[in-house]
Amino acid sequence: MFSIVDFIKNIVQSLEFTEAITNLTSSPSESQFDTCRTHHVTKGNYIYIDGVKYKVIDFELNQWISVKGEIPPTATTFVIPAPHFFNGTPMQVQNVLANIREWRDKLPMVYLLEVIREQRFNSRTNKLDRISELRIFFLMSSNFEDWDVAQHYDFAINPMDNFVNDFIETLRLNHSVGDFNEYETINRANFGVYISKPSKRSGKYEDNITKLIDENVSGVELKLDLPVKKNPCFSFNSCIIAPPQPFANTLSTSFDGFDEEVDGGNPFGIQLTGNISFSIFIKTTFNGVGIIVAKRNPATNFGYQFYSSGGKLRLLVNFLGGNKTIIGTTPIDDGQWHHVLCTISQGVQISMILDGSTEGTTSIVGETYVESNSNLKMGGGQVGSTFYFWEGLTNNFSLFDRLVSSSEVRTSSNQAKDISATNPVLWWRCGNGDTFPILTDNSINAHFGQMINMESFDFVNDAP
């Protein structure tokens, strides 16, 4: 059964934005950069850069953002997380917030006010299933003691109005939503005063609503009559519009730790000598020594290898001056899915980011990288005359000829995402869309992988 609440919740939670960083100036105490879209960023919010959280101390709408702390000079993008979502009657939301110790950490929030009035259509010829009358509040922290009217607009109402625009545009592009020509927005300074109800008896929930919600919270109310199309997923009526296809990720590739590997060959397009990033999801209980991804020459040692040892991850990159290594400290042999992003910022540093957090960095200032001129391998590799095969599952391996941020290749809930728009050099889904014994390249290139010593049942129904 189609749920308008779940639908709105999914829309809101999808509104995580990744934007480019330009003209970065950075010091240990404060950093500032230009960006053409600030979305719902405001003072006191947090943004993420390579999985690190930065507090916004100032901004100019759709121009620049300054944050507390030093941003690495290699940073190219930042992430604005989606607001928190709440739904229910004011009393219900009050109860939820009352159980959250620092409820203001849930700002900015989107609050879908219930009860929702819906006009249903039963006619087979009507393309609409219903029109849902929605009242949604986009709320931000504000400061009634110190802010003047202009500051309320700058720091609360305008950022939330920005978010309403993003929300509306996302709705318009959704295949389940019919055409709607108009909607109404109302600026709501001091939201709590608006929703609070005078209570006849002290101690009733209504009093608590006022105490919590009206405490320096402002934003924008959206009134919208949302037309929802008929859909085979939630209607017995004939299907007219296909539902939107989510990014299906159900399969992974299993490696046995004995002699199985995927060989990507050595095509010119993956012989990278500039900045390099690769991203992969892994799941394992293996605590031996095994290569997960490598493009390293077994004779000259040139190149890079990403491997596990003792249930922890390591990244080794060989330079003319010798090896540089990152030795991870977080156990990953727990049978859970983990995401790893490794980057080589030539002349600066190598880094390994595990599940969105930096696992380690090593300086490579003054080092010269030499391309290995050997095949790209996944699941195993050779160093000297010794083979090192890894046991576990891999999912969505991608290779880039630039530095990428963790948020470009994984969701905030550590799931794979469609990276078609990120222009990878190579992208093996490791199951979905693949036909044994080939891992298809889902980038615009054709760098396929050949499954060696493997079987069709090495595509398994498991994915992050």
* Residues within the interface to other proteins (CB under 8 A): 256-259, 286, 288-289, 291, 301, 305, 307, 314, 316, 323, 325, 381, 383-389, 391, 452-455, 457
Q: Name the residue among 421, 359, 407, 419 with its Cα closest to residue 46.
A: 407
Complex with other proteins: residue 91 or 289, whichever CB lies closer: 289
Rounded to 10°, the helix 205-213/90-98 angle is 70
- Which one-letter DSSP state was computed for residue 408? H
**Which residue number, 58 or 455, has a Cβ lying nearer to other proteins?**
455
Provide, rounded to whole angstroms, the least separation between the CB of residue 455 and other proteins. Answer: 6
Nearer to other proteins, 129 or 260 (CB): 260
CB of 110 to other proteins, least distance (A): 43
Tell me whether residue 385 or residue 435 sits nearer to other proteins (CB atom). Answer: 385
Between 130 and 314, name the residue whose CB sits nearer to other proteins. 314
Q: How many helices (H) and strands (E) does the chain have?
A: 7, 31
Output the DSSP codes for 87-124.
EE-HHHHHHHHHT-TTGGGG-SEEEEESPPEEEE---T
CA separation for the pair 71, 22 (Å, rounded): 12
Q: Which of 407, 449, 455, 451 has the alpha carbon at shortest distance from 428?
A: 449
Residues whose CB is less than 8 angstroms from the CB of residue 187 and which lie 6 or more positions away in sequence, other chains included? 153, 157, 161, 220
Which DSSP letter does residue 416 get?
Answer: B
Closest CB 105 distance from other proteins, rounded Å: 43
Quote the least distance from Cβ 317 to other proteins, whole Å: 11
Provide the minimum distance between the beta carbon of 441 and other proteins in the complex, in angstroms, as a whole number.
Answer: 22
Residue 9, token pair as written in the block: 């919740």
* Cis? peptide before 108, omega within 30° of 0: yes
Q: How far is the CB of 385 from other proteins (least distance, A)?
A: 6
Burial 85-116 (b: 16+ CB within 10 A, else e): bbbbebeebbeebeeeeebeebbbbbbbbbee
List all residues 6 or more positions away from 377 whose beta carbon is below 8 Å from its beta carbon. Answer: 261, 262, 263, 264, 291, 293, 294, 295
User: Whose Cβ is closer to other proteins: residue 130's or residue 377's?
Assistant: 377
Q: Tell me if residue 23 falls in helix, strand or coil.
A: strand
Q: Which is nearer to other proteins, 415 or 453 (CB)?
A: 453
Which of residues 134 and 350 has its CB atom nearest to other proteins in the complex? 350
CB of 312 to other proteins, least distance (A): 14
Choice between 236 and 457, CB closer to other proteins: 457
Q: Which is nearer to other proteins, 83 or 380 (CB)?
A: 380
Instruction: Give 112's Cβ-side CA count (13 Å radius).
Output: 24
Cβ of residue 301: shortest distance to other proteins, in angstroms?
Answer: 6
The distance of closest approach from Cβ of residue 252 to other proteins in the complex, given in angstroms and rounded to an integer, is 14
3-state secondary structure of 183: coil
The Cα 398–Cα 247 span in angstroms is: 16
Q: Are 405 and 77 in contact, with CB atoms under 8 Å apart?
A: yes
Residues 6+ apart with CB under 8 A from 451: 253, 260, 262, 436, 437, 438, 439, 458
CB of 8 to other proteins, least distance (A): 40
